[in-house]
Amino acid sequence: MLLNVHSYFSLRYGTISVEDLTKLLVSKGHHTAVLTDINNSSAVFPFIQKCRESGLNGLVGMEYRSGDKLLYIGIARNEVGFGELNQHMTTGNRDKKPLPEIAPFFNQVFVVYPYKARAVRAAREVWRQMESFAGYSFSKAHSASFAVESFQSLYLKTYFPIEFMVSVLNNYGGFYDRRTYINEARKAGAVIHLPCVNKSYMTTTLYGIDLYLGFDYIMDLEQNTITKLLRERAERGPYNDLKDFILRTGISQTQMAILIRAGAFQFTGKVKTTMQWESLYICKELENVALPSQLFESVISIPELPEFGYELVEHLYDEIRLLGFPVSGSWFDLLKTDFRGQILARDMPNHVGETVRMVGEFVTYKPVRTKQREWMMFGNYFDINGDFFDTVHFPNAMVGYKFQGEGAYLIEGKVVLEYGCPSLIVSRCAKIPVKLDPRVPTEHVK
């Protein structure tokens, strides 16, 4: 492809007629050429006509010069671009002003500049600036496609909030952890259930407003165990009780202990401690009796067990260890103190300018460096109602502050309002002590 071809309409630079030019292009085997005569377009129409007759792909443009100095070359993308090129030349001739060294903005024109060391340095600097901005910018196509997806997500979250949150959970996506999306589903009206051997599948399942967490939440639960219990349930229906489950699946005592502590047998109405003893006894009998499991219903009898208790704190610690976060309650239920903050997230706009103390369950944070290379942090928390509030920790507030992971924090700071969004400028922050697991001996607690 030849980008810069002249006819004899280019004074002192072109010596050939349009007819001879097209014949020469064909003889040399060229398929595409751009006619860019200097400061005029007189040969454009005969050039296009001859190109069509010769089977050439003829394009047109204009080379702009100021005396002997090449300024730039404009190549028309279409008829509109051809008009823009001529208008630029006509304006300069009419106003009797020299052509600018930088081409004006064209809508339908490609502009090519000659190679210059200064231009290369400028181009490199422009590229450096673009590259540094790359982490914050999108291409047009990306922006458009992202906008479509955003509008779709916004519609679904607005009109089908519970279903939307279930889909986010099952796609393992999003910026936040699963606990945050479960909180959003609960606020939208969903009733959250622990994984259940009769209701749950591998991923989260929704029945009306009843949201059952999937078996993929349970740490250390083997894939073989999940496959076996789902297949048996599909073939022979729901499980009647703990004993029926063990006889039908033959799952090991270790895996049974995990399922029981994860709350997968809540439908039985029995206390976890009682079920742990029952499963231990049944699994032991299965090891000693060489009979088909279908016959055990009449063979195995469970001795009478004492009445056991199981506190909410124990349930929450089970869920934290096996699911990664509390489900039956929140970190607020584990706190030693009853203090839940002077104000809640919804009250912040009414206390702008005041210094308050708030209690929040940690969600996430983003550490950044200031211009002085000091660390600061942006935080995000739930209050007791599950409502978000934001915090800003400047370097002076970070001194002596040690982030201690999941849990609830007591945060003191000044309420500010920017663009209608309240946040807390933190002066002090500390993690609140929690109740100990009553099953863990005190001497084992660090």
CATH of 332-431, one of 3.30.2350.10, 2.40.50.140, 3.90.1150.10, 2.60.40.10: 2.40.50.140
35-51: per-residue pLDDT in tens? 999 999 999 999 999 99
- Mean pLDDT score, 307-328: 92
Q: Is the pLDDT of residue 358 over 60?
A: yes
Q: Among 165, 221, 212, 167, which residue's Cα sits nearest to residue 192?
A: 212
pLDDT class for 268, splitting at 50, 70, 90?
A: very high
Mean pLDDT computed over 181-187: 94
Q: How many CB atoms lie within 10 A of CB 211?
A: 23
Parallel, antiparallel, or unpaired for β 205-207 and 210-212? antiparallel
pLDDT at 142: 73
The contacts found for 332-335 with CB under 8 angstroms, 24 or more apart, are 332/359, 332/361, 332/384, 332/408, 334/408, 334/434, 334/435, 335/408, 335/432, 335/433, 335/434, 335/435
Q: What's the CATH number for 2-132?
A: 3.20.20.140
Whether the pLDDT of residue 444 is over 50: the answer is: no
- Per residue in 199-238, pLDDT (tens digit) is 999 999 999 999 999 999 999 999 999 999 999 999 999 9
Domain ranges of the chain: 2-132, 216-323, 332-431
Write down the pTM of the prediction: 0.66
Cβ pair 136, 105 in contact under 8 A: no
